[in-house]
Structure 1
Amino acid sequence: MKALCIAVGLLLGANAFAQEAPSPNATINLIRLMVKKGLITQSEADGLIKQADDEAAQARASAASQPAAVATTTDGAQPGDVRVTYVPQSVRNEIRDQVKQEVIAQAKDEHWAEPNALPGWLDRISWYGDVHVRDESWLYSRNNANDFIDYGTLNRTGPYDINSITSGVYPPILNSTQNRTNMLRLQAHIGMDVKLGDTITAGVRIGSGGDNNPVSTTQTLGGGLIKKDLWLDQAYIRWQPYKDLSLTAGRMPDPFMVTDLIYSTELNFDGIASHGELPLTDDLTSFATIGGFPIQYTGGTTGNEAPAQAFSNQKYSDNRWLSAVQFGLKWNLAQDVSFKSALAYYYFDGMRGQLSAPCAIYTGINYCSTDDTAPDYMQWGNTVFLLRDIVPDPSSPDNYAQPQFVGLSYNYHIADFTNKLDFKIGETPMEVQAEYERNLAYHARDAFDRYPDGLGIPVNNYQSSSTAGTNGPYKSGPVGWLLRGIIGNPHPMAANEWNIALGYKYLQPDAMLDGLTDQNFHLGGTNAKGFILTSDYGIADRTWVSARYYGAKQVYGPPFTIDVVQLEISTQF
């Protein structure tokens, strides 16, 4: 019954908007039906009929009063017709796609159209990583000398008693003769970046590695199929209040523009660094990086931690830091030509070892006053000397134990000039790298004149001698340089992308701290020179194969030549 009332109401209400009155028969029949059903009285029905007649008459009068010009049109439209503008199909498709994209984007952002939607905080995290599997061979020349002392291992496992009569053992010796072929090696990293706000980002990365070596995360497979180690490789917080200004604190990727001449490409820095850029013109931008990085805390039991014991009455510890600054320019010379140049100064404070006070080992003590000035990590190449001034045993002054550590003979204040030129020949990318560096703290005579009575004299970096049991002249130097050309995409990340690179590297023994250099070239360290030939080829998206050859030999000293050959497959995600 209620439906009938509603129908009548709609018919009557429509009169106000219709151009012609509705059918009177339909209205009257509905009203009579409502009277018959007892919904309304006859008097009410008469009132409704009169109202319908009045509104119909009013509608006809309004239509008759319209101007003649609009009564008819050129397109044949009649009064009361509804006009609809035609919308082309292409426009309708465009509107549909735009609305669809906006709805999908909103659904994704708000998670209201996703089943089992993830928490919003996961949107702030991005993951990345890489895996490298390598076949590697170390090939030693048959002409190499076979008596190179491994001073880095001597410090890690020492002290070593240099009196062979009392010790009865040889010092650790570098392998310089026995080849290592077809070693299967692995390198892997996985990390995440977390967006904590508009200006704050945190990063954490773990990596493979057989030990806590600072310059490589490569690990040799095998070893009885034991599980492999993971290490905290990076962990930092970055504040970027402006697009061209950032401040990073923690363990971070190398913040400087470099090649692999003085720093390993896998080296990370502990400390604080700030980087900023300033556009000078549309094509020229200046940049600067400054930072402070702790290298070693002295005064502790091992040298790599905060002081835990007091070996003397010294009030202040002699902590070792790297203070670094780099200024550079980026210049877009043409559409496909750019040039980057940077001048840096790396000031390693207090890396030089110190001779101990007279040390009476024979009394039973197991340390001397400057043991912690030995470097925490060494490879080989730097000039070193014996740290301890050991007092002879009164009961046996001609034959007594002399356990020793070694320290660096020089400080390292490195001036470095790096240049990179990128351009194209046709559609083929090209890059030229050139770098020169010098240790400004190197003065050869300092290693011999520091202490009286022959103490503190270098024990390595002597030339070969024709007389058995004697050394030739001492030879070292403060200079290093690199020149490299790259044809093709330097970082192939798609199928069929490729590159070939040829370079030459030269590092004198005390040009740089040997513990921070690339472990592939001459298997690490300084006092090395030679060619580097590499090639990469993309076999799929984010997957490529590589072939590398490092042919290096000593700059000074007895012959020591190492060829390193690597065949590798890599993927990055």
Structure 2
Amino acid sequence: MSKKIMWVVLAAVTTLGLAPQVQAQGNTEDVAALRKEMDKQYEALAKMQARILELEETQKKQSTTISDMSKATNPSEMKLPETLKWIEKLKFSGDFRYRIENQDFDTRSDERDRHRIRARLGLEAVINEDWTVGLRFATGSTEISTSTNQTLGDSDDDGSAFSRKDLWLDLAYADWHPIKGLNVLMGKMENPFYAVGKHQLIWDGDLTPEGIAGKYVWKFNDCVSAQITGGGFWLKENSGGSDLSVFGAQGLLKYALSDSSSLTGGVSYFDFGDLRNTTIDTDVLKQKGNTWSASRYVYNYDVFESFGEYAFKVGEMPMSAYGTYVTNLASDVEEDKGWALGVTFNKAKDPGSWQFGYEYRDVEADAVVGGLCDSDFIDGGTGGRGHRFSLAYQLAKNVQTVFSYYLAERHDNAMYNGEEMNLFQADLVIKF
């Protein structure tokens, strides 16, 4: 029934309902009252019709919106409501790693087999154009800063099976970037210093230093760019004595030889303050190969590094060769040098792709701080030389397997001098 017919019917019904009153009284006063009543009815009907039209228009708009959303083929075309816009400023990330590990020392009777996991969950929030805040939680232990591994079956002192595993604050930082190329970091952060080939001669890859750092990158032209990095970090805060800290600075240049090749070179300097005569009483400052006497460090550590890397392609295969050399400039140190050379072939990125890496390193007892360098090589620390082989294969998007083999021996170590170590690791890494 159309709106016009509805109006006519309603008017007729109203008129018929009131007609007997007109016939009975038949005077002008009653007719006026009747007209007044009809005007009220028409006014009410007009309001009802306006409301119906308003509801119909709203329903039409909603139907159009739903239809447009259902037709959208690209999810990016679907916009969040204004009240949920803040979600777009959050970025979640994380990874899970399952590791099977076999460790064998030729001077010890038993091999060690372990299954270990690593889980990390991170969040980055864009505050505004100049500020970003990041958080990350990870497995591991507060006693060991060079590892986020959690060994399965490693229970508490009470020996309970299937014990709960800990999750710790691994990153918590603010990133201020007021101009292009400049980043000022405050808090507990990723290591800001560049390492060619991702070597771990000075710093373990799992370390997240605590303090303040700044990094500035700028391009001179299309071929030449430079980067300077500096920072100060706390090693140990002492309420009743001097604090332990490290200050570092690094400068590097990168020169693009062509679209597929480049040279990178630079120097670093790390001043670990006055470690001499410091008591070795924490895992952060574990002796780990450094010279000590009566549970105290014998030397200071002022580490100078020079490094270089050549990246190029053979056909479509990316490759690189790198090297780094470190020396402890502190006075009276005898075993003060370390170096590493390595190569990488290809890149494990797309499903079915692979990557191979090889590195040889030799680090003397007091070249670097043993408690902060690679925790896998010679079971962690200084005073060793040897090889590392790695092979990665991309199983699927965000899913990768990595096989690593260390063949190394200790030297400059009174307790295990000449001991040979074989370490095999098989990893399944899932990123999200």
Normalised TM-score (structure 1): 0.59
Find the residue that maps to 2:86 and give its secondary structure.
helix
1:263 maps to which of 198, 203, 212: 203
- Equivalent position of 1:519 in the other structure: 375
Q: Which amino acid aligns with 2:81?
A: H
For 2:335, the equivalent position in structure 1 comes to 477
Query: Which stretch shifts more, 553-562 or 424-433?
Result: 553-562
Q: Could you tell me how far apart the structure 1 residues matched to 2:317 and 2:345 are?
A: 7
1:493 Cα shift? 3.2
1:125-204 aligned within 5 A: 125-141=90-106, 144=107, 176-181=108-113, 183-204=114-135
Rounded Cα–Cα distance in structure 1 between residues aligned with 2:221 and 2:147: 40
Superposed CA deviations along residues 86-109 of structure 1, whole A, max 9, x for unmatched, are xxxxxxxxxxx9xx989986751x
Aligned mates of 1:131, 1:267 — CA distance in 2: 18
- Paired residues, number: 353
Aligned to 1:236: 173
The letter for the 2-side match of 1:234 is L
Find out whether 1:345 has 2:269 as its counterpart: yes
Indicate the residue corresponding to 2:233 in structure 1.
293
**Deviation of 1:338 (Å):** 1.5
Paired residue for 1:443?
A: 332
Q: What is the match of residue 424 of structure 1?
A: 313
Question: Does structure 1 conserve the Cα–Cα contact (< 8 Å) formed by 2:301 and 2:330?
Answer: yes
1:546 is matched with which residue? 402
CA distance in 2, matches of 1:204, 1:180: 34
Please report how far the alpha carbon of residue 201 of structure 1 lies from its aligned counterpart in structure 2 after TM superposition. Answer: 0.3
Tell me, what secondary structure is at the counterpart of 1:242? coil
Identity in percent: 27
Structure 2 residue 290 is the aligned partner of structure 1 residue 382: yes
The one-character-per-residue Cα deviations of 1:175-215 (angstroms, maximum 9, x if unpaired) are: x543102x111111110100000010000001111443111
Distance 1:409 1:429, change over 3 A: same
1:456 aligns to what?
A: none
Cα pair distance change 1:105/1:339, threshold 3 Å: same
Q: Structure 1 unaligned runs (5+)?
A: 4-96, 113-117, 145-175, 299-305, 308-316, 355-370, 387-405, 445-475
The TM-score, its normalising length taken from structure 2, stands at 0.77
8 Å CA contact retained: 1:318, 1:350: no
Single out whichever of 540-549 and 219-228 deviates more from structure 2: 219-228
Q: SS in structure 2 opposite 1:516?
A: coil
- The answer as to whether partners of 1:505 and 1:529 remain within 8 angstroms in 2 is yes
Paired residue for 2:39?
Answer: none
Indicate if the aligned counterparts of 1:418 and 1:434 stay in contact, CA closer than 8 A: yes
Please give the alpha-carbon distance, in whole angstroms, between the structure 2 residues aligned to 1:418 and 1:213.
28
Q: What are the superposed Cα offsets for residues 343-370 of structure 1, whole Å, 9 maximum, x if unpaired?
A: 110011111115xxxxxxxxxxxxxxxx
Alpha-carbon distance, 1:520 to partner: 1.0
RMSD value, Cα: 2.3
The equivalent residue for 1:364 is none
In structure 2, distance between residues paired with 1:136 and 1:103: 44
Provide closer, same or farther for how the CA distance between residues 245 and 425 of structure 1 changes in structure 2, counting only shifts above 3 A.
same
SS in structure 1 at match of 2:175: strand
Q: Does 1:434 align with 2:323?
A: yes
Q: Aligned AA for 1:415?
A: F
- Displacement of 1:418 in angstroms is 2.0
Deviation at 1:551, TM superposition (A): 1.0
1:333 counterpart = 2:257: yes
Paired residues for 1:244-263 under 5 Å: 244-258=181-195, 259-263=199-203
Whether contact under 8 Å (2:144, 2:283) holds in the other structure is no
- Provide the rounded CA distance (Å) in 1 between the counterparts of 2:141 and 2:94: 19
Shift of 1:111: 2.3
Secondary structure in 1 matching 2:310: strand
Query: Which residue of the other structure, out of 413, 422, 429, is the alignment partner of 1:563?
Result: 422
Query: CA offsets per residue over residues 88-142 of structure 1, 9 Å max, x none?
Result: xxxxxxxxx9xx989986751x528xxxxx722221110001111011011111x
Change in CA separation of 1:265 and 1:325 when aligned onto 2, cut-off 3 Å = same
Distance 1:226 1:488, change over 3 A: same
Q: Deviations over 1:501-529 (max 9, x none)?
A: 11101110000000001111111000011
Distance (Å, rounded) in 2 between the aligned partners of 1:104 and 1:180 = 50
* Residue among 128, 134, 143 paired with 1:212: 143
Amino acid at match of 1:326: Q
Structure 2: 5+ residue runs without aligned partners?
A: 5-67, 155-160
Three-state SS of the structure 1 residue aligned to 2:341 is strand
Q: Partner of 2:81 in structure 1?
A: 111
Structure 2 counterparts to residues 302-317 of structure 1, below 5 A: 306-307=239-240, 317=241
Between Structure 1 and Structure 2, which shows a larger proportion of strand residues? Answer: 2
Secondary structure of the corresponding residue to residue 189 of structure 2: strand
Q: Based on CA coordinates, which of the two structures has the bigger radius of gyration?
A: 1
How much does 1:341 deviate? Answer: 1.5
AA at the equivalent of 2:206: E
